[in-house]
């Protein structure tokens, strides 16, 4: 009996991994990569890069912050105690599926007021965040309040959050291929107090 339950759970896990991967593959086919490509000159031209997101979107952007730091860029995660004031010449990379998360919109408003550029990652161009952005990258995933299964069978905004992680990793890979710094050099910047 216990063996059967374990096999059922294992089969469920395998099916859910397949579901998640398939949804991400389908989403990847719907992304406008010419839109995503515009983030490259924004990053390259920024004096400093600030990243902001709430919840799991914020966690995905923390991962992106680490990779950008590995490239030797000056990177800050909004909300950390050592994050300085944003100013003209800086870039704020902001993620919000709905584009209405108040703390993210407020950060974008402050960035614009300071003369910084904002690049938004969102599921919709019709949002306060997208309207504030110099450029909005639309990720055609379900928003966290979309409890239907037409866009995604996953819970809440999972597909959006996964896409943010994958897209920002692709941005890093692209920047790295342009930079041509050997992996051994990037590794010297990796955290060594772990």
Q: Is the model's pLDDT at 147 over the cut of 60?
A: no
Nearest to 27 by CA among 136, 118, 162, 148: 162
What pLDDT sits at residue 149?
A: 61
> Residue 44: which residues within 8 A CB-CB, separation 6 or more?
175
Tokens 């990652």 sit on residue: 121
Where do the domains of the chain lie, and which CATH numbers do they carry?
32-187 (3.40.50.10490)
* 143 or 26, greater pLDDT: 26
What pLDDT sits at residue 16?
A: 94
Write down the H helix ranges in the chain: 2-30, 33-37, 39-45, 55-70, 102-113, 128-132, 158-179, 183-187
What pLDDT sits at residue 154?
A: 82
Distance CA 41, CA 39 (A): 6
For 31-73, what is each residue's pLDDT tens digit? 999 999 999 999 999 999 999 999 999 999 999 999 999 999 9
- Cα-atom radius of gyration of the chain, to the nearest Å? 18
Cα dihedral 5, 7, 9, 11, rounded to 10, equals -150
* 6 or 87, greater pLDDT: 87
Q: Is the model's pLDDT at 167 over the cut of 60?
A: yes
For 109-121, what is each residue's pLDDT tens digit? 999 999 999 999 9
Query: What is the mean predicted confidence (pLDDT) over 134-145?
Result: 83
Catalytic residues: 161
Tokens 């294992």 sit on residue: 10
Query: What is the mean predicted confidence (pLDDT) over 160-181?
Result: 94
Distance CA 52, CA 93 (A): 6
């Amino acid at each position: 009996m216990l063996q059967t339950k374990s096999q059922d759970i294992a089969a469920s896990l395998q099916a859910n991994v397949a579901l998640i991967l398939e949804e991400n593959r389908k989403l990847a086919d719907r992304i406008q990569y010419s839109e995503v490509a515009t983030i490259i000159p924004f990053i390259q031209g920024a004096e400093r890069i600030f990243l902001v997101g709430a919840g799991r979107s914020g966690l995905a952007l923390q991962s992106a912050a680490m990779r950008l730091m590995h490239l030797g860029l000056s990177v800050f995660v909004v909300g950390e105690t050592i994050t300085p004031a944003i100013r003209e010449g800086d870039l704020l990379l902001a993620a919000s599926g709905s584009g209405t998360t108040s703390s993210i919109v407020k950060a974008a408003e402050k960035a614009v007021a300071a003369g910084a550029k904002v690049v938004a990652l969102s599921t919709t161009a019709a949002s306060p965040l997208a309207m504030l952005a110099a450029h909005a990258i639309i990720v055609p995933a379900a928003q966290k309040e979309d409890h239907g299964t037409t866009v995604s069978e996953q819970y809440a905004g999972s597909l959006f959050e996964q896409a943010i992680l994958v897209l920002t990793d692709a941005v890093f890979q692209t920047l790295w291929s342009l930079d041509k710094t050997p992996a051994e050099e990037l590794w010297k910047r990796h955290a060594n107090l772990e």
